[in-house]
């Protein structure tokens, strides 16, 4: 940005342009730099010894037609994404280097976004959020110290919309397969009186989904007020969303996948006539609102400071029709009518979450000559209520209106302190150091949804050091080496599945080489991630579709990542990347046919050995772009036992993107037409699933036979999205 501003100023002077235009260039650069302070403490520079990818607003815009943010990041190195509804709208997931989303740290303007109890991220709660993202950085591995839960596979830090100096507005509309519709309105007042800007967004997305009844009705908003001068930036943000999605988290078995791959078993019940029906309101209904205040202050030429405040309020439920439910499971008494005792009933239940999340973050940065330092801290408090209610029952027993058949609470306190520095020893060598302390106090009370006492009182003290160096051979080539230590606490659901669950530890070693020239940008790195008690996906899911994790002792992930940007001609380039890895549990124990066996070294679940992507980009003209995007994901196991039953086949999918921009002379600044055809060759593929076992003691009396099974989440065949954006 500094170089760009300098060049523009020289051009302006050489042409004799009025000084006001020069001031406009300087102001734009200053505003952007102040915006970047929001995430400066947790982002890394291009030359740092941290493996990372940067994504700009313009890059997101090329495919932003309503799909969730994870789907928009699908073509980054080592990334695998999936969608419950099959088409990228609704519940979506992302894995990086084979590590689940629960182990990926997410921040928005430096504020933790991961749910404090489940540790997961639910992008469906912030639909169309990509339309309010200025930039993001994906750090693979442990990365640099950040706020919130530890990063065990990746961290994604997001910067929301920067201040716009000029007033603007835009209207976007999308339609596509499965009755998908997206409507979006954005505006900015520009700087009023050179200091104040107000901007905002309203969005609505609707889609029937590829899977039967997996419909989504999503609404979101984003409102920002900002004040800026030479040394100060103050931002107040309010954003949030309301999602209603028909549940599609149960998956289907292999036979159904073969014969009726869009079938959705959620909501199924049989009426008194023996007819199969589907409960029309088998939905997830959740609202989430975020309130943020950020104050960035430049103290002098060397020092700057930042404070951030956050309040998040989430509340909602999912509703289920359940057949033949025992009264005792709902704290109800048997119903006695004459000589008849009724102890079961069909019912409709709702399980609620009502939670509040408070965060304070601070950072101080110092930059002088060859030394850059920052000190940061965050304090957070999470208070979440869990409860269930029966809203209808065939036989109500002695229940009363507004009864809660279970109630529980989770409270989590976290203090995070870190300091980091980069020192340039000479023109070629710089060193990096980073120290972090995390203190966590997690308590629960009351009952789980299964009416089991859940009394957790755990405290964790984690020390996470990181160090590395970068050696620049010349202007176009550099080498980096880094080491990072990370510790991470279990989630609430981890404790529910195993009260003796342990925290996990990771030692991450990275070795990389970067090359930049006029025609080629290349980033190559080896990683070795050595774990102790890694919490990996067991393959199983609970009764609400959430994955169940388990400790697996010693394990490792070793891989090579190559990411390139090759410019063959001025109007043609391609962006390939590939990850080749081996991901192993060193000793796997499993009970099979009644015997505890040591399977020795096995593959870690959901960890393909090969992931590759490519993006061919052709610009016939400045206003016209065609892109062919390709993704290959190798085969993977859904269990840690290498069971053939748990194997997901490899898949190779291609998407086609077309963008054309008109610049009328009146009314509109521009009109942008976009088209995205996903899975252009109609491949039937599955990107996610689950694996289960149970002991059969009936078929052969006196013997135990382990029965295996699997569930699958099929993804959409050929589908399209088309949009038009009017910019004023």
Query: Could you give phi then psi for residue 20, rounded to 5 degrees?
Result: -65, -35
The answer as to whether 270 is a domain residue is: no
One-character DSSP codes across 585-641: EEEEEEEETTEEEEEEEEEPTT--SEEEEEEEEEEEETTEEEEEEEEEE--EESSSS
Which residues does 14 contact at the CB level (< 8 Å), separation at least 6? none
Share of the chain above pLDDT 90, in %: 78
Claim to verify: residue 76 and residue 1 sit in the same structural domain: no
Residue 704 has pLDDT above 90, yes or no: no
Claim to verify: residue 407 and residue 463 sit in the same structural domain: yes
pLDDT digits (tens, 9 = 90+) for 353-404: 999 999 999 999 999 889 999 999 999 999 999 999 999 999 988 888 889 9
Q: What CATH number corresponds to the domain at position 326?
A: 2.40.170.20
Claim to verify: residue 536 and residue 562 sit in the same structural domain: yes
Angle 157-163-168 (CA atoms, 0-180°, nearest 5)? 120
What torsion, rounded to 10 degrees, do the Cα atoms 115, 118, 120, 122 define?
Answer: -70
pLDDT value of position 252: 95
* Average pLDDT score over residue span 260-279: 93
* Average pLDDT score over residue span 119-136: 94
Claim to verify: residue 141 and residue 67 sit in the same structural domain: yes
Claim to verify: residue 179 and residue 261 sit in the same structural domain: yes
More confident residue, 17 or 726: 726
Claim to verify: residue 16 and residue 163 sit in the same structural domain: no
Confidence band, pLDDT 50/70/90 cuts, at residue 21 = very low
The answer as to whether 337 is a domain residue is: yes
What is the enclosing helix (H) or strand (E) of 9?
Answer: helix 2-15
457: containing domain = 41-265+276-727
pLDDT value of position 651: 98
The answer as to whether 22 is a domain residue is: yes
Q: Are 97 and 141 in contact (CB under 8 A)?
A: yes
Claim to verify: residue 98 and residue 206 sit in the same structural domain: yes
The answer as to whether 271 is a domain residue is: no
The answer as to whether 719 is a domain residue is: yes
Claim to verify: residue 121 and residue 2 sit in the same structural domain: no
The answer as to whether 677 is a domain residue is: yes
Number of domains in the chain: 2
The answer as to whether 160 is a domain residue is: yes
Beta strands in 489-623 (DSSP E): 504-516, 520-532, 535-541, 547-551, 554-569, 572-574, 577-592, 595-603, 610-621
Claim to verify: residue 170 and residue 184 sit in the same structural domain: yes
d(CA 606, CA 613): 18
Mean of the per-residue pLDDT values of the chain:
91
Task: Give the residue carrying structure tokens 């490519």.
Answer: 614
Claim to verify: residue 350 and residue 395 sit in the same structural domain: yes
Which residues does 380 contact at the CB level (< 8 Å), separation at least 6? 112, 116, 147, 148, 357, 358, 359, 360, 412, 413, 414
Which residues does 370 contact at the CB level (< 8 Å), separation at least 6? 423, 424, 425, 430
DSSP secondary structure letter of residue 489? P
Claim to verify: residue 22 and residue 69 sit in the same structural domain: no
By CB atoms closer than 10 A (0-12, 13-18, 19+), residue 579 is: buried
Which residues does 275 contact at the CB level (< 8 Å), separation at least 6? none
Query: Could you give phi then psi for residue 31, rounded to 5 degrees?
Result: -65, -45
Residue 6 has pLDDT above 90, yes or no: no
Q: Are 239 and 132 in contact (CB under 8 A)?
A: yes
Claim to verify: residue 113 and residue 11 sit in the same structural domain: no
d(CA 628, CA 652): 13
The answer as to whether 153 is a domain residue is: yes
d(CA 674, CA 471): 42
More confident residue, 663 or 20: 663
Residue 242 has pLDDT above 80, yes or no: yes
């Amino acid at each position: 940005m500094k170089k760009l501003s300098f060049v523009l100023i020289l051009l302006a002077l050489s042409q004799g342009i009025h000084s006001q235009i020069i001031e406009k260039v300087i102001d734009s650069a200053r505003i952007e730099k102040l915006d970047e302070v929001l995430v400066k403490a947790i982002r890394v520079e291009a030359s740092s010894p941290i493996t990372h990818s940067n994504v700009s607003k313009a890059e997101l815009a090329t495919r932003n037609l309503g799909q969730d943010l994870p789907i928009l990041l699908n073509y980054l190195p080592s990334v695998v994404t999936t969608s419950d509804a099959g088409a990228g709208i609704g519940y979506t997931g992302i894995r990086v280097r084979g590590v689940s989303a629960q182990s990926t740290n997410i921040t928005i303007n430096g504020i933790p976004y991961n749910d404090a109890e489940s540790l997961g991220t639910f992008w469906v709660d912030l639909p169309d959020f990509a339309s309010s993202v200025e930039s993001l950085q994906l750090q693979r591995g442990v990365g640099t110290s950040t706020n919130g839960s530890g990063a065990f596979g990746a961290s994604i830090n997001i910067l929301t919309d920067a201040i716009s100096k000029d007033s603007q507005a835009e209207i976007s509309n999308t339609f596509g397969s499965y009755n998908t519709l997206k409507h979006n309105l954005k505006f900015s007042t520009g700087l009023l009186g050179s200091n104040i800007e107000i901007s905002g967004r309203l969005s609505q997305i609707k889609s029937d989904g590829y899977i039967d009844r997996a419909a989504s009705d999503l609404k979101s908003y984003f409102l920002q007020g900002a004040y800026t001068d030479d040394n100060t930036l103050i931002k107040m943000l309010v954003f949030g969303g309301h999602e209603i999605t028909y549940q599609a988290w149960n998956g289907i078995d292999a036979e159904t996948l073969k014969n009726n791959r869009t079938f959705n078993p959620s909501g199924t019940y049989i009426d008194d006539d023996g007819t199969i029906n589907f409960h029309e309101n088998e939905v997830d209904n959740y609202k989430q609102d975020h309130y943020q205040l950020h104050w960035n202050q430049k103290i002098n030429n060397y020092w700057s400071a930042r404070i951030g405040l956050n309040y998040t309020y989430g509340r909602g439920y999912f509703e289920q029709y359940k057949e033949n439910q025992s009264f005792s499971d709902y704290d109800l008494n048997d119903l006695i009518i004459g000589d008849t005792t009724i102890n079961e009933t069909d019912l409709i239940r709702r399980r609620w979450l009502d939670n509040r999340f408070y965060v304070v973050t601070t950072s101080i940065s110092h930059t002088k000559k060859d030394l850059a330092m920052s000190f940061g801290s965050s304090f957070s408090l999470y208070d979440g209520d869990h409860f269930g209610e029966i809203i209808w029952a065939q036989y109500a027993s002695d229940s009363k209106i507004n009864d809660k058949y279970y109630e529980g609470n989770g409270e989590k306190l976290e203090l995070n302190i870190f300091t980091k520095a980069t020192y340039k020893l000479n023109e070629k060598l710089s060193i990096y150091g980073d120290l972090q302390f995390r203190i966590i106090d997690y308590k629960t009370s009351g009952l789980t949804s299964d009416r089991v006492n859940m009394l957790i009182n755990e405290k964790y003290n984690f020390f996470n050091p990181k160090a590395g160096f970068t050696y620049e051979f010349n202007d176009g080539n550099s080498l980096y080496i880094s080491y990072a230590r990370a510790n991470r606490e279990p989630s609430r659901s981890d404790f529910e599945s195993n009260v003796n669950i342990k925290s996990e530890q990771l030692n991450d070693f990275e070795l990389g080489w970067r090359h930049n020239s006029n025609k080629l940008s290349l980033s190559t790195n080896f990683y070795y991630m050595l774990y102790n008690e890694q919490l990996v996906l067991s393959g199983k899911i609970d009764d609400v579709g959430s994955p169940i994790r388990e400790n697996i002792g010693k394990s490792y992930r070793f891989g090579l990542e190559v990411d390139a940007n090759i410019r063959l001609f001025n109007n043609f380039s391609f962006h390939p990347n590939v990850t080749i890895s081996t991901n192993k549990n060193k000793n796997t124990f499993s009970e099979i046919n009644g015997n505890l066996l040591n399977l020795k070294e096995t593959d870690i679940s959901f960890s393909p050995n090969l992931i590759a992507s490519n993006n061919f980009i052709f610009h016939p003209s400045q206003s016209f772009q065609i892109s062919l995007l390709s993704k290959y994901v190798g085969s993977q196991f859904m269990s840690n036992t290498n069971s053939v039953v748990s194997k997901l086949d490899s898949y190779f999918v291609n998407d086609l993107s077309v963008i054309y921009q008109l610049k009328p002379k009146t009314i509109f600044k521009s009109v942008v037409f976009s088209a995205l055809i996903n899975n252009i060759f109609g491949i039937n593929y599955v990107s996610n699933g689950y694996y289960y076992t149970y002991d059969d003691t009936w078929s052969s009396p006196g013997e135990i036979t382990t029965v295996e099974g699997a569930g699958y989440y099929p993804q959409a065949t050929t589908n399209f999205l088309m949009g038009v954006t009017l910019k004023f």
